[in-house]
Amino acid sequence: MKGDSPREAAFEVLRAVSADDAYANLAMPAALRRHELRGRDAALATELGYGALRGQGSYDAVIAACVTRPIEDLDPPLLDALRLGAHQLLATRVPPHAAVSTTVNLVRRHVNEGAARLANAVLRRIGERDLDGWAAELAPARDADLTGYLAFRHAHPLWIVRALHDALGGDDAELEAALRADNEPAGVTLAVRPGRGTVDELVESGARPTRWSPYGAVVESGSPARLAAVREGRAGVQDEGSQLVALALAAAPVEPPDERWLDLCAGPGGKAALLAGLLTQTGGRLLAVEQHEHRARLVAQALAGDLGEHEVLVADATQPNWPEADFDRVLLDAPCTGLGALRRRPEARWRRRPADVAGLRRLQSGLLRSALWSVRPGGLVAYVTCSPHLAETVTVVDDVLAGRSDVERIDARPYLPGVPDLGDGPDVQLWPHRHGTDAMYLALLRRTE
């Protein structure tokens, strides 16, 4: 039915994520186009789909308490529909009768009548309590096990809650604020390509300037593709935190020459486009390295139209095929768990596993050694991750620098001018709940010899 199109779209996204390992941020726009949803209907579909995915672990615990069989034995389409219904009942203002009836109709259409009857019974049981009531029944007591309680109440795996707690220095109040922020929808932030676009143009099209990046603007509603600057490649989607760490590398002083910059893991190309635009103004040259060909093509697309010198190279950055000490500045935005962008990737928290960290840490360490090998004495390396996990951030830098006397860690905070709450330094950790950005980490390192 046309009136159920938002829920149909949300359900299709849940099915794509569950059955096909799809990425919700790619599946949702496609579903909105299929159902020709815009405005409020598109916003409803997005909230229902993303919300059900974010809350999946907690909703599954609630569903499990309301059925007489293991939820793994439920038909997968039925389980996804129940997740959608649970989200409406426990986390939205959708009237309970509407949440139940629309979900039962979904199950009737996509599974069968028997499953619809089961869904009706389960959802009515779910609706007997609010989320705090279910937390009181299913989660550890807050006073006895705070991280366990918060993991359920704010729908994060326990290992991620503990990692965030550690990264926040054990501050309980900040931990809860960080978890809440992960569950708030992130706005769409754009970055203009220096020399190709202006923030004023974006503002004239209805965006508002970002707080700290001079190249950023936030699109309050609608698709960014409606803006001519985005369609023509003069601006692209890029979180303000991502802009700030790249700009910090460009702003920190380096003794001349300052002509050759390297982006070591350049895909999908947002930071490369920002750096290339800055270099074009000074006559420098950027080498953008990306191991995977499909991501290298995205980098080339982001750089298309830049008037300066740049090259995209498909290569393994842990095995550099360029001369040692060949670059004045090196950006290493290392592959990571992505725990700093959970608000943008609703399913990611349930896909990641603690074991992922160790493998990524080995890669991050190898890449950082390559970055330091590639930069000349006196030059700078920016080590960046979109994760606040200490095993991917400060301790990676600590371990790589241990026993080395040819690298100094410099205070990165002055190169994010105006940004508050940056801690004691020298490294910078941004946070969604403090700064409204993704949780980007930055360490600035100078090779001294």
The separation between the first and the last C-alpha atoms of the chain, rounded to the nearest angstrom, is 69
414 is in an annotated binding site: no
The tokens describing 384, both together, are 């960046």
Among residues 62, 192, 386, 428, the one annotated as catalytic is 386
307 close to 280: Cβ distance less than 8 angstroms: yes
Asked whether the beta carbons of 74 and 112 are under 8 A apart, the reply is no
Query: Residues 66, 134: contact at Cβ < 8 Å?
Result: no
User: Is residue 377 a known part of a binding site?
Assistant: no
The answer on whether 73 is annotated among ligand-binding residues is no
174 is in an annotated binding site: no
Residue 62 token pair: 């609630």
Q: Is 201 annotated as a binding residue?
A: no
Supply the Cα-derived Rg of the chain in whole angstroms: 23
Compute the distance between CA of residue 55 and CA of residue 24 in angstroms, rounded to an integer.
14
CA distances from 316 to 31, 288, 368 (A): 35, 12, 13
2 known member of a binding site: no
Return the axis-axis angle of helices 172-182 and 146-153, rounded to nearest 10°.
20
Backbone angles phi, psi at 47, to 5 degrees: -65, -45
For residue 163, give every residue at least 6 positions away whose Cβ sits within 8 Å of its Cβ, in sequence order, or none: 339, 388, 389, 390, 391
In angstroms, the CA 291 to CA 373 distance is 18
User: How far lies 267's CA from each of 21, 151, 278, in Å?
Assistant: 21, 32, 18
418 labeled part of a ligand binding site = no
Structure token digits, residue 216 = 């950023």
386 is annotated as an active-site residue:
yes
Q: Which helix (H) or strand (E) holds 217?
A: strand 216-219
Paired residues of 27 in beta bridges: none
Return d(Cα 358, Cα 342) in angstroms, integer. 19
Q: Is 266 annotated as a binding residue?
A: yes
Beta strands, E only, 268-348: 285-290, 309-314, 327-333
For 378-399, letters b (16+ CB in 10 Å) and e give bbbbbbbbbbbbbbbbbebbee
φ/ψ (deg, to 5) at 198: -135, 150
333 assigned binding-site residue:
yes
| Rounded distance between C-alpha atoms, residue 289 and residue 276, angstroms | 13
Q: Is 269 annotated as a binding residue?
A: yes
Catalytic residue set: 386
Q: Binding-site residues for S-adenosyl-L-methionine, please?
A: 265-271, 290, 316, 333
Q: Binding-site residues, please?
A: 265-271, 290, 316, 333
